Chain A
Amino acid sequence: MTTTGSKLLIGATVMAVVAAVVYGVIVGGALGTIGLSSAAMGLALLAGVNVYTRDADVSSMDTQAVMAAPAAAAAPGNSMWPIGAAVGGVLLVVGFVTYPVMVVFGVVVLLAATVEWTVQAWSERASGDATFNASLRGRMAHPLEFPVLGAIGLGVVIYSFSRIMLFLSQAGGPAAFATIAALILLVGFVVAFRPTVRSGAVAGVATIALVGLVAGGVAAALEGERELHPHETTGDLGREGQCDTGEETEADENASQTVGAKANLLADIVLHEDGRLEADALGLPGGAGQLVVARNNPTNVRFVNASGEERRLVLDLGTRPAVDENGDVIEDEEVPDQRCTALANEDGNQLLNFTVTEPSASGGPYAFVVPGVDGARVEVVVP
């Protein structure tokens, strides 16, 4: 029997002889020819020793020994991992000049291919028993492969679900997933009550469902998300100078009418039934027409609506320069600078959080007002 190692040495000897001849004839350098001839002799010696001591120690008549000899072991099968490593390498290189995310993918693929290739190559040479080698590979690789593949599979399913849900309309989403849930229930019912259903059929249905889910996810991802409507807030009203509106806005819908942040409050701003607006500050009870607020400090006040009608509290900070869609200041154009609460129901409370950056002496006068209620005003002093 001739082992792979012996074959390698014999081949290398032949190559060295050929190289020595070619070099000697074409180049004609004595030193190179001597060197290559010496290499050929050395390799030939090693090949001879290898064949004699390792390959030839099994009698061809001893069939069991011949079968157990390493030379009798089946040659390793073809491996796909070099292709995987090549793909990873290409992604890595291309990523350097295109998108950084490709570099990450390239590194991951290259690492995975290298590890798998190494484990495969090692396990296939572990013994002459291919079955044992396969189990050895499993013991090495499965603890790594199963969690990673499970996570990837789960990620694909979740991502597909999310793409489909974001693609479907607000009404279509619940309908589609209610239908899918009903189908899953139906299949489960059939499998439970028909034990004779073949496992292959169940696996086939599950595979079709999974492929359909992933295909749907890919299609939905390519199609893009539906248009999502950002909910308007009272902050938007202030930015747009719309705090004075007397109508209910989207920001007012479903607004809670209670304030739980009692310990955070600097003052209650109370609108009385007769239209008076007063500040009931911590430690200064009794209602005042003035409230002092620290500069550059986030401040919370509670609007208490005791007027019997829906009202909102507005902090009027004068005007500020208008800005365009890009945030650039529009010259010679001012807009109201306001902060406001959501509409407070009768006997409802609303919270207002604000920060004033300019003292009232330069940016003021500032005041809390209530649109629609003449004379309802609390002066805000910012030292």
Chain B
Amino acid sequence: MVREMSAGPSRRRLAGALTALGGVTLLAACAEDAPQDTWQPAGENAQRIQDLQWWVFAIAGAVGLIVFATIAWVSVRYRDRGQPIPRQTHGRPALEIGLTVLPALILVGVAIPTIGTLMDLSRTSDTECVVNVTGQQWWWEVDYPPQEGCGGFSEPIVTSGQMVIPTGTKVLVRGTSRDVIHSWWIPRLNGKRDMVPGRVQTVRLQADRPGIYAGQCTEFCGLSHANMRMEVVALDPADFETWKANQLADYTAPMEGSLAAAGEQVFISQCATCHQVDGLVNADGVPIIAQPQERVFAGAAPNLTNLTTRNTFAGATWDLLTPTCRDDVWNASPEEFGAAYLAGVSADCLNEVDLREWLRNAPAKKPMYADPEQLGPTDGLNRGMPYLALSEAQIDQIIAYLLERQ
């Protein structure tokens, strides 16, 4: 009697907890701000995966339900009630063969469309545009080789964090890594692909509508793996041409005597060793070529030529835009998105808080192996951006200079 009285509330508590857990899990699926949702494909390739995974999930779910229901029924129906042990039998060939053949048939049924989908997703013959991505701790470099695709590129463009592509175009991403294995994944556009040093991997991308599609490195790659993000920005072809023209525009030096001009000098002395800004020259008029291999283990640092045409910085970890301006871009209608994105980062929209913190002490903001006393394994080279001991005045000047990199 006592046992029964205590078992009742206990069971009710367990049932309540399970219901709450299931409810929370169910409600989590209703999150509106879920830019990395694999169940919201935004392109042909992701749609192929979606088409496959829906009914594979349905079959797997049905099998799972049948199995669990059978186990539950058997557990209840044949539970120990003090009855004698039933007669033991051995061998039911028809049942055993049936339970072997049925799963095999299900697996074959799943395998055929899966292999077909995999082959479709690895096809490169119908490529209309090629973009290279190179991973390193903890950011992605994006470059566009000269080609006839994507409306034609006469010379290469190098950028980072955000990959800009034209909508409705079959883009082939050729990816690799400079240091450790990373994984490139834009869930709404395609599956993930490991990027391995010394290998060239491919991913097909196609975005149907203009917009920003978020992604995340999905192979643990060191301290700031969780902060290694990326975005694909899809522009309609006309806007894409504008974006290309912006990237290839000549370097504009800051006005003499301005804050930005002072920032240019600080940039040359403090940043240009690693960060390339195309067109930047020294006092003798000689182009300044960054030598990141002298300071950084990966041998590369983001090209900042057109930094404020992008919306993110530091491996797409932080937005260059304030939350309000960011929402204006992210929530823009497909018709208005191109103009919103191409407006770049204005002084009013600049996320100065995060940018200042980053310039003030980058390793404190984003975990990196930047302790000078712990760089033995990399021969003294940094993994990520080191602490530069910039003064507040220098930070003001650099920000003014970078704001003009449009």
Contact = CB atoms under 8 A, between A and B. Distances in A.
Given A282-B174, A292-B146, A295-B299, A358 B200 contact: no
A136 interface: no
A294 B300 CA distance: 10
Interface string A201-226: 00000000000000000000000000
Interface in B146-186: 146-147, 149, 155-158, 172, 174, 176, 178
Contacts of A283: 124, 127, 130, 172, 174, 202
Contacts of B198: 264, 298, 300
B231 interface: no
A263 interface: yes
Interface in A89-109: none
B141 interface: yes
A264 B200 contact: yes
A297 B172 contact: no
A381 B156 contact: yes
Given A264-B199, A362-B287, A284 B147 contact: yes
B306 interface: no
A336 interface: no
Nearest to B127: A283
A28 interface: no
B19 interface: no
A379 to B, nearest CB: 10
A295 B274 CA distance: 13
Contact of A263 (B134, B200, B293): B200
A298 B197 contact: yes
Interface string B124-150: 110100101010000001010111010
B146 A362 contact: no
A47 to B, nearest CB: 66
A265 interface: yes
B292 interface: yes
Contact of B146 (A290, A294, A358, A361): A290
Interface string A264-296: 111000000000000001111100001010111
B289 interface: yes
A296 to B, nearest CB: 3
A295 B156 CA distance: 12
A357 B199 CA distance: 18
A295 B276 CA distance: 12
A383 B290 CA distance: 11
A297 B178 contact: yes
Most buried by A among B132, B141, B292, B300: B132
A148 B302 CA distance: 58
Contact of B202 (A282, A290, A292): A282
Is chain A's binding surface mostly helix, strand, loop or mixed? mixed
Interface string A158-183: 00000000000000000000000000
B292 A296 contact: yes
A203 B204 CA distance: 74
Contact of B176 (A281, A290, A297): A297
Interface string B379-394: 0000000000000000
Interface string B235-258: 000000000000000000000000
A359 interface: yes
B293 A284 contact: no
Contact of B143 (A281, A298, A383): A383
A358 B287 CA distance: 13
A296 B178 contact: yes
A297 B198 CA distance: 8
Contact of B300 (A263, A282, A295): A295
Contacts of A297: 134, 176, 178, 299-300
Interface of A: 263-266, 281-285, 290, 292, 294-298, 300, 357-359, 361-362, 381, 383
Given A381-B146, A381-B155, 5 more contacts: A284-B130, A294-B134, A295-B300, A297-B134, A381-B156
Interface of B: 124-125, 127, 130, 132, 134, 141, 143, 145-147, 149, 155-158, 172, 174, 176, 178, 197-202, 276, 287, 289, 292-293, 298-300
23 contacts: A263-B199, A264-B198, A282-B174, A282-B200, A282-B202, A283-B124, A283-B130, A283-B174, A284-B145, A284-B149, A292-B143, A294-B134, A294-B178, A296-B178, A296-B292, A297-B176, A297-B299, A297-B300, A359-B276, A362-B287, A381-B145, A381-B155, A383-B157
Per CB-CB distance, the 8 closest pairs between chain A and chain B, nearest first, are: A296-B299, A292-B145, A283-B172, A383-B156, A362-B289, A283-B130, A283-B127, A383-B158
